Amino acid sequence: MIRGALLGIIWMTYCVCASFQQETTFIYNGFHQGDHHIHLQEGAKIIPKKDVLQLTNATSTQIGRAFFAKHIEFKPSEPVSFSTHFVCALVPVTAVSSHGMTFFVSHSTDFKGSQPSRYFGLFNANGSASTRVLAVELDIAKAEDVLDIDDNHVGIDVNSAVSVVSAPASYFSDKEGRKIDMKLVSGEPIQVWVDYEGTTLNVSIAPLHNQKPSRPLLSSTSINLTEIVQGRRMFVGFSGSTGSGVVNQYVLGWSFSKSMASLQKIDISKLPKAPHPSNKNKYKSILLDVLLGLLGLLVLGLLLGAYIYRRNLYAEVKEDWEKEYGPLRYSYKSLYKATKGFSKTEFLDARPSMEQVVQYLNGNVAMPKIWPYSPGIGALTPTTLSPKQLSLESLSLSMSSSLSNNSMFITNTIQYGSGR
């Protein structure tokens, strides 16, 4: 009987310890619907079938918070300390940056007076009005009023959005022996470690498959948590707001413990994927761009074809003899410019073609009538010749004499005098 009583006491002690351990140490390798102890506020939700904790959806000026449902309490004999490791993802929805998200430790779950347009859904312009807060911010917007260093930084906040210490987002690579920059709002999973012991708070970040860096990104040695939360009882969770831009803030996994030694390791292989905006709109946009490009090419091809068709339709037809000697003609545009719009005072000599000259010289074609005030043939301008002097014979002699000096026509006539 005594043995049975001892076994009963041992069993009760085990159950109490296990229950206590569950309240102070927990781990989520993804969040399952109905199988969690997470208290959701405002726009926060767990996405069905995706096992992802989402703080805000694709809506501007929205707040979302998620707490572990039970408070964390420290006995007078216990040191106030904790360690947490979580994996999150900030997925952009619009081109305008939002205000990121935080992990926080608070005195209560009442954040009355916090603003949805900024301050992570925890604070307002005057700080935290209704509760005491310690927060680690992943900030993707540079706010001048809270003295942000840039639009991609990590900071430690105490009862205010003005960070007591902050640094551009990066992690220390033990392999390369240097800091490597990280983009918080890349949509890729980010690991975050927050460790508090004594009065020292260390914060580290790294890509999903990296080990915890040996050097923290931030370290503050003047954090008195019991003074901040005004006691040894606190709530832990996440908060975010969208502001004027929209960023989907996801938590994929979370581990928490009162001490670093008992912190359970997140199983990266079991974590859900961070949802991204539907690619349907992206594919539609690409398809539209392709169709517009093809339509542009089609229109350009039609215009080019019409131009070539019109040019060929109205192109000058070359005579057979021009293939050997080349074209001896002027374009309409050249003639129009030379005569200043075919002005009556700007006549040009009416030079005949080579074939016409040969026909005139052989007597096969009658010479055209030439009037006293009309332009002559070739280089002749017989404005002072009498009708008798304009006979075929004298004109032929004059033309032969003129052409013998500088015209190519006489050479062609001597070689090919018999005509065509």
pTM above 0.75, yes or no: no
**Higher-pLDDT residue of 335, 204:** 204
Highest mean pLDDT among 5-14, 187-196, 267-276: 187-196
Instruction: Give the model confidence (pLDDT) of 257-314 as tens digits.
Output: 999 999 999 999 999 999 887 655 555 556 777 888 888 888 888 888 888 877 776 6
DSSP per-residue letters across 4-27: HHHHHHHHHHHHHHHHHHHHH-EE
Residue 380 pLDDT level (bands cut at 50, 70, 90): very low
CA 280/CA 286 separation, integer angstroms: 10
pLDDT class of 164 with cuts at 50, 70, 90: very high
Per-chain mean pLDDT for the chain: 78
Q: Identify the band that residue 420 occupies on the pLDDT scale cut at 50, 70 and 90.
A: very low
Q: Percent of the chain at pLDDT above 70?
A: 70
Residue 345 burial (CB count, 10 A): 6
User: β-pairing, 190-197 with 178-181?
Assistant: unpaired
390-419 pLDDT, tens digit per residue, is 444 444 444 444 444 444 433 333 344 444
Phi, psi of 184 (to 5 degrees): -70, -40
Residue 101's pLDDT band (cuts 50, 70, 90): very high
Tokens 């129009």 -> residue? 336
Amino acid at 270: K
Would you tell me how many other CB atoms lie within 10 Å of the CB of residue 88?
25
Show the DSSP H helices in 209-350 as ranges. 225-229, 280-313, 322-325, 332-338
Packed helices 408-415 and 354-361: angle between N→C axes, nearest 10 degrees? 60
The answer to whether 353 touches 325, Cβ cutoff 8 Å, is no
Model pLDDT for residues 40-50, shown as the tens digit of each residue: 998 899 998 89
Q: What Cα–Cα distance (Å) separates residue 297 from each residue in 289, 291, 350? A: 12, 10, 46
Distance CA 36, CA 45 (A): 12
| Contact assessment for residue 156 and residue 200, using Cβ atoms and an 8 Å cutoff | no
| C-alpha distance from residue 209 to each of 88, 110, 188, 189, 320 (Å) | 13, 36, 11, 9, 81
3-class SS of residue 40: strand
CA distance 346 to 133: 95
In the chain, the amino acid numbered 216 is P
